[in-house]
Structure 1
């Protein structure tokens, strides 16, 4: 097993950042990668260790390079971000066949998911709009990428391995098929608009320093559809992730967004099925629960997230009509 402290010490030496002061401390880094606080005699840094399983995916390097380019565009536009440092001419660092990003340490804190205020939602909507406004354009209509998850195959494999999530998957197979159908119908109804998007700008990826938001974790930057992303993020900021939806916060997010940039779309209720994008996060965690991951800790996280995500999808089904009614008034 890799000694993370020794590996990061090698990284800092090669990058000219100086000698690290042990210990290297794990900090919250989301559900895919691992993050550490690293101190030197001069300053503190955040170091992200990219998940080795993610780094095996096809085209992963192209995706990261694109995100790095877009990160620079956003930073140059004056949008508050914590960008990866460029060291030895590049942002992504490789040591001992492992990949890392290094960031300056950002003071502040992540907001409490259960106490997000309308003003925070409004400010998040403003940031999202500023990103979308940078390079927006209408495109020729194309058939979008649709979800084609075969839940029956995953259930059969879970059954074969006799893992703990098997009964939960069996119980919810029809719900998952219905959710996938609703998601695909919504994607087919999206207008042909493209812009820079950050689908991962949920509350865990925004630091608050003296009441001001700063985005972190920008490796999901890409080009995408603004209608899809504003709808999904408005729901995440207003409690869909924790199954405590507050529609006043959903409206606050949209208010901040639309007062900053207006993409012209006015039929959000017709694409409420985009809320079921969570099925793709569910699929990823099913694969982790099935053992396609780096260690037992990550496998346990996969099991936990399968449970959480199915509960979330159930909750979205319960609240779908209320969400649609609000979106029809946007």
Structure 2
């Protein structure tokens, strides 16, 4: 079996982690862009199983990143409604025959589509983001150096690749090379400045990563969790919860999100 191909074995997964016996075949469910998600029903309970993409898991830091993100989710769950992966046999991430899995208790709920988000939803999510930012994660002793690492983009590489493939966009890219390098440098400098004031957060708190159950939001999919500048996170997440399906930002929803955040933290300061 190639290390970059999925190697799914749900029976062995259930046996080794003592999840019970499978009652029916696992059902693929939507929601995973990078990975595969399945609903499984056993004699013990219903679970959501995330089979992690082998092409991602061969990266040197991938396993540790998932371990760290699940630690963050577990601490956050002490302060907000969050769903970390189940800890089974002392671990949150499980390797069965070189296939990595995360196991979650099944949640009966729904994710809101962009046009379904209300002003009240936005305000509540602003409050929840503030609660995450105020959470003390120091006990985890995570490496904060990841927050300042910003890769230099090799635009010339992409230009040459486009030329080799006769791409339509090469003229536009070629005519903007100097500007792109200038903008990249400014972005890198801004990133370094923002990194001087960081918190740990979810970093991908879009509507697709929030399950609503009886008007209670449960934060899921913590795999992007880590260090980020709080004002960067605030503005980015406020946009997530105020943009409609056409890409337009609803001012009332945006301001409601900011207002919900300020209820918890008070005045805002940013450079």
TM-score (norm. length: structure 1): 0.70
CA distance in 1, matches of 2:165, 2:24: 41
| Residue pair 1:20, 1:38 contacting (<8 A) in 2 also | yes
Matched, 1:183 2:187: yes
Matched, 1:230 2:231: no
Paired positions, count: 256
Residue 39 of structure 2: which of 29, 37, 40 is its match?
Answer: 37
Name the structure 2 match of 1:153.
157
How many angstroms does 1:129 deviate by? 0.6
Please state which structure has a larger fraction of its residues in helix.
1
Name the structure 1 match of 2:53.
51
TM-score (norm. length: structure 2): 0.84
CA distance in 2, matches of 1:169, 1:115: 39
| Residue pair 1:20, 1:41 contacting (<8 A) in 2 also | yes
CA distance in 1, matches of 2:92, 2:243: 33
User: 5+ residue gaps in structure 1?
Assistant: 138-142, 268-330
Name the structure 1 match of 2:126.
125
Aligned with 1:22: secondary structure? coil
Change (3 A) 1:242 1:93: farther
Name the structure 2 match of 1:113.
114
Name the structure 1 match of 2:65.
63
Matched, 1:75 2:81: no
Matched, 1:20 2:6: no
Residue 250 of structure 2: which of 243, 246, 249 is its match?
Answer: 246
How many angstroms does 1:168 deviate by? 4.2
Per-residue CA deviation, residues 98-121 of structure 1 (Å, 9 max, x unaligned), is 100000001110101223111111
User: 5+ residue gaps in structure 2?
Assistant: 139-146
| Residue pair 1:30, 1:204 contacting (<8 A) in 2 also | no
Matched, 1:221 2:225: yes
Greater length-normalized contact order (CA 8 Å, ≥ 6 residues apart): 2
CA distance in 2, matches of 1:86, 1:93: 10
| Residue pair 1:136, 1:194 contacting (<8 A) in 2 also | no
| Residue pair 1:37, 1:47 contacting (<8 A) in 2 also | yes
Matched, 1:197 2:197: no
Per-residue CA deviation, residues 290-323 of structure 1 (Å, 9 max, x unaligned), is xxxxxxxxxxxxxxxxxxxxxxxxxxxxxxxxxx
**Which stretch shows the higher mean deviation, 27-36 or 206-215?**
27-36
